[in-house]
Structure 1
Amino acid sequence: MPSDMRDPLALEEQVCFALAVASRSVVAAYRAVLEPLGLTHPQYLVMLALWQHGEVGIKRLSELLHLDPGTLSPLVKRMEQLGLLERVRPPHDQRSLRIRLTAAGVDLKREALGVPAAMLERFGMSVKDLQEANALLHGIIDAAQAAAER
Structure 2
Amino acid sequence: MSDTPCEELLLDNQLCFALYSTSLLMTKVYKPLLQELGLTYPQYLAMMVLWEADGITVGEISNRMLTDPGSLTPLLKRLEVEGLITRTRSSKDERVVELRLTEQGRALKDRARSVPACILAATELTTDHLGNLRDELVSLRNSLGKAV
Please report the TM-score for the alignment, with normalisation by the length of structure 2. Answer: 0.92
Give how far 1:55 is off.
1.1
The CA distance in 1 between the partners of 2:38 and 2:54, in whole Å, is 21
Question: Given residue 130 of structure 2, which amino acid in structure 1 is its aligned partner?
Answer: L
**C-alpha RMSD of matched pairs (Å):** 1.1
Give how far 1:9 is off.
1.2
The CA distance in 2 between the partners of 1:19 and 1:105, in whole Å, is 31
Residue 50 (structure 2) pairs with residue 50 (structure 1)? yes
Alpha-carbon displacement from aligned partner over 1:33-68 (angstroms, at most 9, x marks no partner)? 111111111010000000011111111110000110
Secondary structure at the aligned position of 1:128 is classed as: helix
Aligned length: 143
1:34 corresponds in structure 2 to 34
The CA distance in 2 between the partners of 1:93 and 1:143, in whole Å, is 34
Identity, % of aligned positions: 36
Secondary structure at the aligned position of 1:83 is classed as: coil
The CA distance in 1 between the partners of 2:97 and 2:32, in whole Å, is 32
1:107 corresponds in structure 2 to 107
2:85 corresponds in structure 1 to 85
Residue 71 (structure 2) pairs with residue 71 (structure 1)? yes
Give how far 1:96 is off.
1.4
1:17 corresponds in structure 2 to 17
Gaps of 5+ in 2: 1-5
Alpha-carbon displacement from aligned partner over 1:61-99 (angstroms, at most 9, x marks no partner)? 100001101211110001111111110112232221111
Secondary structure at the aligned position of 1:56 is classed as: coil
Question: Given residue 75 of structure 2, which amino acid in structure 1 is its aligned partner?
Answer: L
2:120 corresponds in structure 1 to 120
Please report the TM-score for the alignment, with normalisation by the length of structure 1. Answer: 0.91
Gaps of 5+ in 1: 1-5
Secondary structure at the aligned position of 1:100 is classed as: strand
Secondary structure at the aligned position of 1:94 is classed as: coil
The CA distance in 2 between the partners of 1:93 and 1:9, in whole Å, is 51
The CA distance in 1 between the partners of 2:70 and 2:95, in whole Å, is 16
Moved over 3 A (4+): none
Question: Given residue 88 of structure 2, which amino acid in structure 1 is its aligned partner?
Answer: V
